[in-house]
Chain A
Amino acid sequence: MSVLIFVELDEGKLKKSSQEAIFYGAKVAEMTGTTATAITVGQADETELATAGRFGATKVLHAGDAKLNEPNGMAYATVVAAAAQQEGSTIVVLAKSSLADAMTARLAGKLKAGLAANVIELPNLSNGFVVKSSIYTGKAFAYNELKAPVKILAIKKNTITPEETDATATVQSFAPALNDSDFVISVKSTEKATGDVLLPEADLVVSAGRGLKGPENWGVVEDLAHALHAATACSKPVSDLDWRPHHEHVGQTGIKVSPNLYIACGISGAIQHLAGVNSSKVIVVINKDADAPFFKSADYGIVGDVFEVLPRLTAAVKAL
C-alpha cells in the first residue's frame, strides 16, 4: 500500500524536482500510515538511486530495460501503472516536467485516477482528500477534492522544500511486461542545451525582454546568470522575434517558473508575463522606465539602464 513516487534523473542524478516529489510523497505516506516507494525508469546507477532514501523513500523500483533508456511517456506510464499495481498504490506523486506531463496523462487514463496538477501544498485529509493547486497560470489557487480511489498528485517545482536525512533506500529491479504499442513513436534526434542551468529546474533566473534591444546584447544577461549560476529566460516578444529560443520563454503561454529569485531586465511586466513568474519567491525588476507596471509586482526594483546596471550586479556577485 505504498505511496508511489515517479522519479526522474538528470545526467545520472536525482532531479531536484524529483527530490521534492520524494519528500512530498514520503510526507503523504506518513499522513496516510504507509511507506514511500520510488519508481525510476531507464539507465540508472544503484548507488544514486539509494539516495532517494535521504528524502524519505524506503524502496526504489528500477525498471532498467534498455528499451526504456529513451524518454517515452507512453511506455513510462505502462511501467508506473504496473508498479502501482504491484505496490497496491492508490496515491502516485511526481514532479511536473515535460516528460512527467506526457507520462501522467497516460497514467491517469490507465488508472482512471483523480488528478491534481501544479500541487503546491501537502493534502488536507480532515474532510476527504483535498489538495491546493495553482491555476490560471498562478493567478489563483484551487482546493481540489480528489474523489477517485486512485489519486495522482503532480507537484509544482520549487514549492516544497525537502529535508534530508542519512537514510538510504533499498533498490529493487523491476521488469514489468512492456507494450509494443508504446514504442511506435520514433525519436530521430534530440537537441539539448548543455552546460547551462535548465530553466524549469532553476533556483535563480535572470530574464530579459525587448529592453535588451537585440540578441547581440544578451552577453550582459548571460554574464549575470553565469555569476549567479542562474538560468536565463526571456519574454514572449523576444522569443517571437527569435532573439532567444522558445524554451526560454516564460509567461502565460510559455514556461511557468517559481524560482527563489527572478530578475527581470528590460521587461515591462504585461499581465501574461507576470502570470508565468508570479510564484517566484523574490522578484527583482530592472527597467529604465520608472512607470513599468512590473515594479508593482516586484520585491526590489532599480530604475536604470540595464546595460549599466547588469555589469555592476555581475561584479558585485563575483565579489561576494
Chain B
Amino acid sequence: MKILVCVTSVPDTTTKITFTDNNTKLNKAGVTFITGPYDDYALARAVELKEQAGGTVTVLNVGGADAEPVIRKCLAIGADDAVRVNAEPTDAYFVAEQIAAVAKDASYDLILMGRESIDYNGGQVHGIVAEMLGLPSISPVMVLNIDGDTAKITREIEGGKEEIEAKLPLVLGCQEPIAEWKIPNMRGIMTARTKPLKVVEPVANDQLTAVNHYELPAPRGAVKMIPADEAEKLIQLLHTEAKVI
C-alpha cells in the first residue's frame, strides 16, 4: 500500500499566541513547532498499516525550511521518505493545490492528513485535494481498517458516528482515536537522518485570500466568586445579571 501523509508544522498546543510587525505576523520567538496533533494520528495509523500490510509511507509538508525538524520527526516515527514543498502556506486552497500537484501522478492508495490544522482550523484541505484529484473524501475518520481494496471507516458525526465502506484510493481527514500517537525511538531518530527528504518548488497559483492583520481576543473581566454554601446565588445571577438562563 502506498500512503501519503500530509502534515502541518504548527505552534505547540500550549503556546500563547502573539503577533509582531503591527499584528501582521505570528510571533515565532520562543514558540516550539510540532506536527499538527491530528496529523500525528494520521501518520501513526499510516505507519501501522504499513507494518501490517507492507508498502510505503511518504510524508508531505508545505512549508519553509524551518519545518524540517517536524518532517524529520515524522521520518523517525516510521515514514520512509518525505517531500517538502518549499512555500509558506497561505490558505487551504494553496496548500491543497501543492499537495494535489505532488500526488497527481503518484497513484497513492491513501492520502491521509489531520481533520484540520490547529492554526487556521479550516478543516478544508483534504476535501479540496480530493476534489482536485477526483477522489472521494471522508472526514473526520476515527477508525480506519483496510480489507483488500476496501476501507472500513468510522466517521464522527454530530452526536454520534457512521460506519462507512469505500474503495481505495481515498483522501481522509483523521482524528483520535484512529491510532496511538507514536514517539520516535533512538533508532528511528538515527535512521531518519539518512531518509530522503526531497524539496520541490511550489506550483504557481492565484492568491485567493490574504490575511490583512491579526487580533487577540479582549481579556475577560474579573471572575465573580460565589461561596459554595450559597451556590443557588449562581443560578440567580445567571438568570438576572448574565441573562443566559
Q: Which chain A residues have a beta carbon within 8 Å of chain B's beta carbons? A: 71, 73-74, 77, 97-99, 101-102, 104-106, 108-110, 112-118, 130, 132, 134-148, 154, 181, 184-193, 196, 198-201, 203-204, 228, 240, 246-247, 252-253, 256, 260-261, 270-272, 275, 278-279, 281-285, 295-305, 308-309, 312-313, 315-317, 320
Residue numbers in B under 8 Å from A148 (CB-CB): 206, 208-209
Residue numbers in A under 8 Å from B220 (CB-CB): 283, 297-299
Total A-B pairs, Cβ < 8 A: 278
Chain B stretch 35-61: residues in CB contact (< 8 A) with chain A? 37-38
Which residue on B lies nearest to A156, using beta carbons?
A: B121
Q: Across the interface, do B160 and A190 meet the contact criterion of CB distance under 8 Å?
A: yes
Q: Across the interface, do B157 and A108 meet the contact criterion of CB distance under 8 Å?
A: no
Min distance, Cβ A15 to any Cβ of chain B, angstroms: 10
Which of A73, A145, A247, A301 is close to B210, meaning CB atoms less than 8 Å apart? A145
Binary contact readout B212-245 vs A (1 if CB under 8 angstroms, 0 otherwise): 1111110011011111100110111111001011
Q: Across the interface, do B234 and A252 meet the contact criterion of CB distance under 8 Å?
A: no
Which residue on B lies nearest to A262, using beta carbons?
A: B244
| B161 interface hit (Cβ, 8 Å) | yes
With a 10 A CB-CB cut-off, give which of B125, B131, B138, B156 has the most chain A CB atoms.
Answer: B131
Q: Across the interface, do B137 and A312 meet the contact criterion of CB distance under 8 Å?
A: no
| B184 interface hit (Cβ, 8 Å) | no
Q: Across the interface, do A115 and B124 meet the contact criterion of CB distance under 8 Å?
A: yes
28 contacts between A and B (CB under 8 A): A98-B140, A98-B156, A101-B127, A105-B92, A105-B123, A105-B125, A105-B131, A106-B127, A106-B128, A115-B92, A118-B121, A118-B122, A135-B119, A137-B118, A143-B213, A148-B206, A184-B167, A191-B160, A192-B160, A246-B176, A247-B158, A253-B37, A299-B224, A302-B227, A308-B228, A313-B232, A316-B234, A320-B239
Which residue on A lies nearest to B161, using beta carbons?
A: A191
Chain B stretch 190-218: residues in CB contact (< 8 A) with chain A? 206-217
Q: Across the interface, do B239 and A296 meet the contact criterion of CB distance under 8 Å?
A: no
Q: Across the interface, do A190 and B157 meet the contact criterion of CB distance under 8 Å?
A: yes
Residue numbers in B under 8 Å from A316 (CB-CB): 231-232, 234-236
Q: Across the interface, do B164 and A186 meet the contact criterion of CB distance under 8 Å?
A: yes
Residue numbers in A under 8 Å from B234 (CB-CB): 284, 300, 302, 313, 316
Given contacts A191-B160, A261-B242, contact A256 B121 (CB under 8 A): yes
Residue numbers in A under 8 Å from B163 (CB-CB): 187-190
Residue numbers in A under 8 Å from B138 (CB-CB): 102, 185
Min distance, Cβ B126 to any Cβ of chain A, angstroms: 7
Q: Across the interface, do A278 and B217 meet the contact criterion of CB distance under 8 Å?
A: yes
Q: Across the interface, do B245 and A115 meet the contact criterion of CB distance under 8 Å?
A: no
Residue numbers in B under 8 Å from A116 (CB-CB): 209
Once bound together, how far apart are the Cα atoms of A304 and B234, in whole Å?
Answer: 13
Q: Across the interface, do B211 and A189 meet the contact criterion of CB distance under 8 Å?
A: no
Min distance, Cβ B12 to any Cβ of chain A, angstroms: 10
Residue numbers in B under 8 Å from A117 (CB-CB): 92, 120-124
Chain B stretch 160-190: residues in CB contact (< 8 A) with chain A? 160-167, 175-177
Q: Across the interface, do B235 and A317 meet the contact criterion of CB distance under 8 Å?
A: yes
Using A105-B126, A186-B166, A198-B158 as known contacts, list a sample of 8 further A-B pairs with CB atoms less than 8 Å apart, ordered by residue number in A. Answer: A105-B130, A115-B93, A187-B162, A192-B159, A193-B159, A300-B238, A304-B231, A316-B231
Given contacts A102-B137, A117-B123, A184-B166, contact A142 B211 (CB under 8 A): yes
**Segment touching A, from B1-9, B13-21, B67-75, B78-86:** B13-21
Given contacts A186-B164, A260-B244, A317-B245, contact A138 B217 (CB under 8 A): yes
Once bound together, how far apart are the Cα atoms of A308 and B157, in whole Å?
Answer: 34
| B132 interface hit (Cβ, 8 Å) | yes
Once bound together, how far apart are the Cα atoms of A88 and B171, in whole Å?
Answer: 30
Q: Across the interface, do B231 and A108 meet the contact criterion of CB distance under 8 Å?
A: no
Once bound together, how far apart are the Cα atoms of A114 and B138, in whole Å?
Answer: 22
Q: Across the interface, do B132 and A109 meet the contact criterion of CB distance under 8 Å?
A: yes
Once bound together, how far apart are the Cα atoms of A132 and B23, in whole Å?
Answer: 14
Once bound together, how far apart are the Cα atoms of A115 and B176, in whole Å?
Answer: 26
Chain B stretch 137-163: residues in CB contact (< 8 A) with chain A? 137-140, 142, 156-163
With a 10 A CB-CB cut-off, give which of A102, A302, A304 has the most chain B CB atoms.
Answer: A102
**CB-CB nearest 5 A-B residue pairs:** A105-B127, A109-B131, A304-B228, A192-B160, A316-B235
Which residue on B lies nearest to A139, using beta carbons?
A: B17
Q: Across the interface, do A271 and B14 meet the contact criterion of CB distance under 8 Å?
A: yes
Residue numbers in B under 8 Å from A308 (CB-CB): 228
Q: Across the interface, do B216 and A113 meet the contact criterion of CB distance under 8 Å?
A: no
Given contacts A253-B118, A299-B223, A299-B242, contact A190 B139 (CB under 8 A): no
Which residue on A lies nearest to B229, using beta carbons?
A: A304
Once bound together, how far apart are the Cα atoms of A198 and B212, in whole Å?
Answer: 35
Which residue on B lies nearest to A230, using beta carbons?
A: B245
Once bound together, how far apart are the Cα atoms of A253 and B123, in whole Å?
Answer: 12
Q: Across the interface, do B226 and A101 meet the contact criterion of CB distance under 8 Å?
A: no
With a 10 A CB-CB cut-off, give which of A144, A193, A295 has the most chain B CB atoms.
Answer: A144
